[in-house]
Amino acid sequence: MQNLAQTNTTVFKLDYVANEFDPDRGSVAHAVPQYGHIPISRFRASQQQVPQEATQAEVMPPALTANWQLLVHAEFSEETFGRLYIIASLEKDWNGSESLPLSAESLGHFLRFWLSVQDIAKEPELTLTPRGHIQVEWYKNKRRLLEIEFSEDRNVFYALLDGDSVNEGKEDPKELAEMMQRRASKPLRWNP
């Protein structure tokens, strides 16, 4: 390992076992070429000092470092973690003027929600809104869809299309998790 210069910036250095790159599927390698695939189940975090000449691609995105403990316990698949890494790497104005990077608070609220449902849920599809909020989606077909946007103020905005029923609103994440678990159609089990 390279001897790193002393600075005031602390990041997580990733140790991982690389997998085969699949260019048709895409991967984290598009965002972070020097790391290739980064399966969360295969790396250890250790605090290291960053050399002053380090590039942005060598530094873990701030929203991920701020939520590191939650992220490790989330046990996401390689594909979901890769998507999250790409989302967290997007910078200001990524989608035109005034679009914001991923908010650490929004990600934290999503991760706490996920930890409360991960035993009974399938991993959702992840996207980033122009407001810097993470939005997750479970999709079964055109008549069964659940979208949840996690804001910075701990509220979630959701829309559930469940057959002929449409529910939408603003909820506390814990209450929404309980509400979705009680639904007979089990929207958290729909495949994204």
Distance of CA 178 to the CA centre of its chain: 21
Longest dimension (CA), the chain: 61
pTM over 0.95: no
Question: pLDDT tens digits, residue range 4-43?
Answer: 233 233 333 333 323 333 334 333 333 333 333 333 433 3
Q: What is the pLDDT of residue 75?
A: 93
Q: Domain segments of the chain: what residues?
A: 10-189
Amino acid at site 139:
Y
Beta-carbon contacts of residue 170 (< 8 Å; ≥ 6 apart): 155, 156, 157, 158
Question: pLDDT tens digits, residue range 94-114?
Answer: 998 899 999 999 999 999 999
Question: pLDDT tens digits, residue range 134-155?
Answer: 999 999 999 999 999 999 998 8
